[in-house]
Structures are given as structure tokens and as C-alpha cells.
Amino acid sequence: MEEFNILVCDDDHSIVDAIEIYLKQDGYRVIKAYNGLEALKALEENEIHLIILDIMMPQLDGLQATVKIREICNIPILMLSAKSEDTDKVLGLNFGADDYITKPFNPLELLARVKSMMRRYTSLGSIAEKNNVIRIGDVELDKDAKEVRVNGKLVKMTATEYGILQLLMENAGKVFSIDEIYERVWNESSFSPENTVSVHIRRIREKIEINPKEPRYLKVVWGIGYKIEKI
């Protein structure tokens, strides 16, 4: 099994230690940090494959750290929050996180989220068959290079965003419900996925649409779900 490095950052040392135990039992190597600044430093000094990041931390909180991380890389970020309010979860997704989990969490759920995110991340960097390019209008998805271009210009996407866009472009014209998108991209059963999916959809629109408020490609079918329009 290839060894993956996971950065765990929370100002509560006991939570970091507990997560380290769960992850090590599953074969992951853990790098620990206790605030956003330490997380950024650890990212500079280590090859990191996934980040588990608390929202509320001193010096530099999880949201601010996420913004800085997204300026330099698309490593998957799983946000931890002590609050259950949707606004906190949506904030994390808006700032660039891939998924979230609310404290206190079930260790099995945490490991399931980590495994799902690692699958998406590793498949984003995997080798695909040659000449596997999907073009719809000015949007081009290259499955060999795992890249998206709009009008020939490379667009940076996280593994989750890429996975959603690939699903919809491969099935242009077909409407997928929020549950279907979540289950196909996250590789796990959906449970109240509305905010998670809708925030990622909005971020994709901002990257591929000239006017995200009047999308040409990524359309909502009210009461049903989303689709990529055939053009």
C-alpha cells in the first residue's frame, strides 16, 4: 500500500492525537499542527496528500488557512467544525474545502470520508486512456491530463469539482439529482448533501461560465437536479 501523508490541524491536542490513532491504524502517516500558521508551515516542509483542518483556531483559523492553501495547491481539505449550523459548513465549502464533518464525529465516518477523498485525489492524478477529451462549447475536459480548459485557458479545479464536471460532461443532457451526484462523486451514500453539492456547483460555474448567474453550460433543473447542456 502506498503511504499517504495526512496533515491534521486542530488547536485541541487531544482531538489531533485521537485522529492520529485512527489514521495510523489505517496505514496513513500523520503530520500534526495546532493552528493555521503551523499548518501552512507543515505544508511547505512535507508532501501532503490530504488536510483535516479545524475551523476555529487561534492565530490563523481554518477558513483563512484554506484560502491561503488554495492559492498554491488543490490538495483535498476536510473541515472540522464544532458547530452543526449549515452556515459554518457552507462557509468552509465556499472558502475552498472539499467536504466537512461535525464534531463530535464517529471515527468510522471520519475514515470513510478520508478514503473517499483520497480516491478522488489519486484518480485525479492517475493515468487515463489516450485521446480521452470531452468538448462542449468552449469547455474542454482532458481525461488524460485531468485538466479543464475554457476558451483554451487552463482552469484550476479541485478533485471534487473535476469529478462533478466530468460526470456531467460525460452525460451531457442528462439530469442528475443532488443525491446521485453525491453518491457518484463522493462514492458514499448521501445524507443531506444539498449544501455540499450546491456550493461545489456554484464554484464550477464561476470557473467555466462567462456569467455564472446566467449559465450557458451548467444548468439547474428545478426540483430535479443539474445537467450540462448539450451545445
Look up the CATH number of the domain holding residue 219.
Answer: 1.10.10.10
User: In this structure, are 75 and 99 located in the same domain?
Assistant: yes
User: In this structure, are 46 and 118 located in the same domain?
Assistant: yes
Q: What integer pLDDT is reported at residue 209 of this predicted model?
A: 95
183-207 pLDDT per residue, tens: 999 887 766 667 889 999 999 999 9
Last residue of a domain, one of 86, 106, 124: 124
Q: Are 229 and 219 in contact (CB under 8 A)?
A: yes
User: In this structure, are 13 and 108 located in the same domain?
Assistant: yes
User: In this structure, are 57 and 12 located in the same domain?
Assistant: yes
Last residue of a domain, one of 124, 152, 179: 124
Q: Which three cell numbers stand for residue 121?
A: 485525489
User: In this structure, are 177 and 211 located in the same domain?
Assistant: yes
User: In this structure, are 120 and 148 located in the same domain?
Assistant: no
User: In this structure, are 108 and 207 located in the same domain?
Assistant: no
User: In this structure, are 67 and 175 located in the same domain?
Assistant: no
Mean pLDDT on 114-133: 67
44-83 pLDDT per residue, tens: 999 999 999 999 999 999 999 999 999 888 889 999 987 7
C-alpha–C-alpha distance, residues 148 and 103, integer Å = 35
Mean pLDDT on 207-225: 93
CATH of the domain at 57: 3.40.50.2300
Range of the domain at 182: 133-228
Q: What integer pLDDT is reported at residue 145 of this predicted model?
A: 86
User: In this structure, are 138 and 75 located in the same domain?
Assistant: no
Work out the burial of residue 2: count CB atoms within 10 Å of its CB; fewer than 13 is exposed, 13-18 middle, 19 or more buried.
exposed
C-alpha–C-alpha distance, residues 47 and 219, integer Å = 37
Strand order in the sheet with 153-155: 133-136, 139-142, 147-150, 153-155
C-alpha–C-alpha distance, residues 79 and 174, integer Å = 31
Last residue of a domain, one of 124, 142, 158: 124
The position carrying cell 456569467 is: 211
User: In this structure, are 35 and 119 located in the same domain?
Assistant: yes
The position carrying cell 457552507 is: 90
Q: Are 117 and 77 in contact (CB under 8 A)?
A: no
The separation between the first and the last C-alpha atoms of the chain, rounded to the nearest angstrom, is: 43
User: In this structure, are 137 and 61 located in the same domain?
Assistant: no
Provide the pLDDT confidence category of residue 174 given band limits of 50, 70 and 90. Answer: very high
User: In this structure, are 104 and 163 located in the same domain?
Assistant: no
Q: Provide the domain count of the chain.
A: 2
Q: Which three cell numbers stand for residue 229?
A: 447542456
Q: Are 62 and 54 in contact (CB under 8 A)?
A: yes
